[in-house]
Structure 1
Amino acid sequence: MSTRDVQVRMCEIAVGSADDAKILRATLGSCVGIGLLWRARGTYGLAHCLLPQPVGSARAPGAAQTGNGAKYVIEALPALISMMGADAAPDGEIEAVLAGGANMMHHRTTIHEPIGDLNVRMAQQLLAGARVRVVHVDVGGECGRQLTIDCGQHHYAVRHFARAS
């Protein structure tokens, strides 16, 4: 069986299974990648989230989303769980991997916390609330990452790369 590489772009969600042998891949900076692994069912998913949640009038109720529901962490996790058919999965059966959330800017601002930190914190809160077991966290710092989930091999990996100067 040949594998199919699926680049999960910003604001996108992708799902794969052991049967389709997809490799889900997201390249992350301050965005957070949320990978879900439901090994018992051979179902895997990856969301590439830009922001933790809508702010103020950033998006009116009922307005169209960009991508396929992963712009905001707060919307991406429920959408990912639903797309995987894991709404009624037993507590702790789904594993989560978090990557990204870096501070990719050379300067720090005092206006607000770095967006990467806010993305990671929101993802961790939602995963805890959904009783999803977090098995790997590789976040923060100043380097980019690539999160890969190999659905056929039931494996994930996080690779680091330096930001451009």
Structure 2
Amino acid sequence: MAVGTGDMVLTALLGSCVGIGIIWRRKKRCALAHCLLAEAPAGDSGIDVRYVSNAVPALLRGLGARPEDYAELEVVAAGGASLFDRVQSPLRVGERNIVAFERAMQSYGLRVVHQLTGGSLGSRITLHCATLVYETKRLQSS
């Protein structure tokens, strides 16, 4: 997870992981988390941002956003691909990550302005902090 300002560029390469980006135009800040799994295990301290359930509140804290600021935030997401045949990998990690992301957006009342999730190919998400522009892209299969 990273919070950026100025000339920083935040990026993540994703497979079944989900990249969650938040842009706060008024404050000229952006933040990005690369989440490996959906839900933190019971008893988790809440600081391990590899989990979607922990990453969203951590992103909000990192940006310094309070509930009254949430309407100003723009969320972008990518990833959550199913890279393996379901017969070989019945875990459906990508699907679970997408569901956890969508649940978190609803729970916090955050507005998703762009989402490139699912599919069978990896993806990349990039946030340009200087211009507050985001990019998402599917990766080519080899």
Q: If the length of structure 1 is used for normalisation, what is the TM-score?
A: 0.78
- Tell me, in whole angstroms, the C-alpha distance in 2 between the residues paired with 1:48 and 1:80: 11
Residue of structure 2 in register with 1:118 after alignment: 96
RMSD: 2.0
Residue 87 of structure 1 deviates from its aligned partner by 2.3
Residue 114 of structure 1 deviates from its aligned partner by 1.1
How many residue pairs get matched?
142
Cα separation, partners in 2 of 1:61 and 1:147, compared to 1, 3 Å? closer
1:97-116 paired onto structure 2 within 5 Å = 97-105=76-84, 107-109=85-87, 112=90, 114-116=92-94
Cα separation, partners in 2 of 1:25 and 1:91, compared to 1, 3 Å? closer
Residue of structure 2 in register with 1:74 after alignment: 53
Offset from partner CA, 1:88-111 (integer Å, 9 cap, x none) = 443421010010000111x21398
For structure 1, the residue ranges without an aligned partner over 5 or more in a row are 1-12
For 2:135, give the aligned amino acid: A
For structure 2, the residue ranges without an aligned partner over 5 or more in a row are none
Percent sequence identity over aligned pairs? 35
Judge which range, 24-33 or 154-163, deviates more: 154-163
Q: Which runs of 4+ in 1 moved over 2 A?
A: 60-63, 87-91, 109-113
Larger radius of gyration: 1
Residue 30 of structure 1 deviates from its aligned partner by 0.2
- Tell me, in whole angstroms, the C-alpha distance in 2 between the residues paired with 1:79 and 1:31: 17
For 1:117, give the aligned amino acid: E
More helix by share: 2
